[in-house]
Structure 1
């Protein structure tokens, strides 16, 4: 009975690992990073109930991870700053704090002793009117009191702990950066070139349509309005933790490096940046170790 033809000739072998064979050389497995695409499932469960399982049809890229960093960044603001007088009357508050307001008051009082100046004449008229109405003493006392208070506010600020309180506004996606080290032990084509190429493909769109959206919509309807396919989501496993789902923001690899006679690079260090699909909360941090 003749052998049946193979049906998996063009399929990627499940569990296939590409990259440098550091693990086979006895390196601690916790020092190796494994990157693999994931498939979003349980969509019918509703928002927040999705699962992200490794795509068995895709290979795993394995490498050494150097200078890796896990960054969480949140945004805070201080909205109370604009609720104080400094925000509403910045020039006046600045003059009071710096002493310019008190100095301006003394300048006006001093001008009253200058009989040739216009300010002195105006001050004299005001003083004469006050004396004629019988309120000169009270008026003078009020001005002196106000002048003393302005002088006492010099060097003071209305900035407090209360109006400087930080208010949480949002969080950025978690960012993971580092260097992937690929080095050929026996086959540069598979241990270096194939691994780097696979990362570059995962960082790129699966396909970008060459057809106009309007033309496509006329031919195929609404589905043609979204003719391109985005890059896959991935998971990153390192040090006993799994980070998922992630997207690859950037892959930077040198094109000049020691090569074999076939043009395959022997050793390269690839700079890579991952972003979490959404902002994370404390539960996501806990789930990393599961």
Structure 2
């Protein structure tokens, strides 16, 4: 007899008639973008921005003419050479003065030695603040969705075994011996016009001063989260985020 698929689990606050486009969906995926379970966390985002850092540099920045006479150029630009030339006497003083006047307003920077080239990029950062609030049940509307995000941020398991040398002697070499712990999971985040994946949670905060009810349960929690892509992204990745036909959406099942 076939086993019935697990019922989807949605952990969220009650947002009433709030537009679904203003509510972000978080779920776990593999490296190919397929869901690995049926748990979805939903949260309204009070803040969100996607930050991309692209590195450009000038390969000729150390080839300008100023590097041949750096001290002289600094003295000319600061005006200090006038004092030096006056103390140098009649032999060299007049020559230094002419040189100072000739270099006034000049620079060694050119279009060639200031040309920028692309040298790399960092992983994109997705900075958000997720909001959970309780209308009826603080446990289901605040605690459970927050705790699920925290679990996704943490390593699945950290091994308590000893050093690598001891494990090799006891169990021999295998990938489990060399890497006995399990890293945190990969996530996809669906928000407004895009599905961002694969992402990892780099930081997450719990506001322990958030308001509580008489039983000590949080009734509202604002959660700053920084997510990061696994690699620097290119145009095809950006198209992948904007496309909802990539096989990554809230209705997909493994």
TM over 0.5: yes
Residue 149 (structure 1) shift? 4.8
2:35 corresponds in structure 1 to 54
Matched, 1:197 2:138: no
1:214 corresponds in structure 2 to 165
Matched, 1:237 2:190: yes
1:246 corresponds in structure 2 to 199
2:21 corresponds in structure 1 to 30
Where do 5+ consecutive residues of structure 2 fail to align? 244-254
- 1:276 is aligned, of 210, 221, 229, to 229
In 2: Cα distance, 1:288 partner to 1:149 partner: 59
Aligned 8 A contact 1:98 1:155 in 2: no
Residue 202 (structure 1) shift? 0.5
CA 1:192–1:104 in structure 2 vs 1: closer, same or farther (change >3 Å)?
closer
Aligned 8 A contact 1:85 1:93 in 2: no
Aligned positions of 1:118-197 closer than 5 A: 148-197=98-147
Aligned 8 A contact 1:178 1:273 in 2: yes
Q: State which structure, 1 or 2, has the greater radius of gyration over its C-alpha atoms.
A: 1
RMSD: 2.6
Residue 222 (structure 1) shift? 2.9
Aligned 8 A contact 2:85 2:96 in 1: no
SS of the residue 1:35 aligns to? strand
Q: Bigger CA drift: 242-251 or 70-79?
A: 70-79
Residue 69 (structure 1) shift? 0.6
Residue 90 (structure 1) shift? 1.0
Aligned positions of 1:80-91 closer than 5 A: 80-91=60-71
Q: Bigger CA drift: 171-180 or 229-238?
A: 171-180
- Structure 1 ranges of 4+ moved more than 4 A: 96-109, 143-147
Greater RCO, CA 8 A, separation 6+: 2
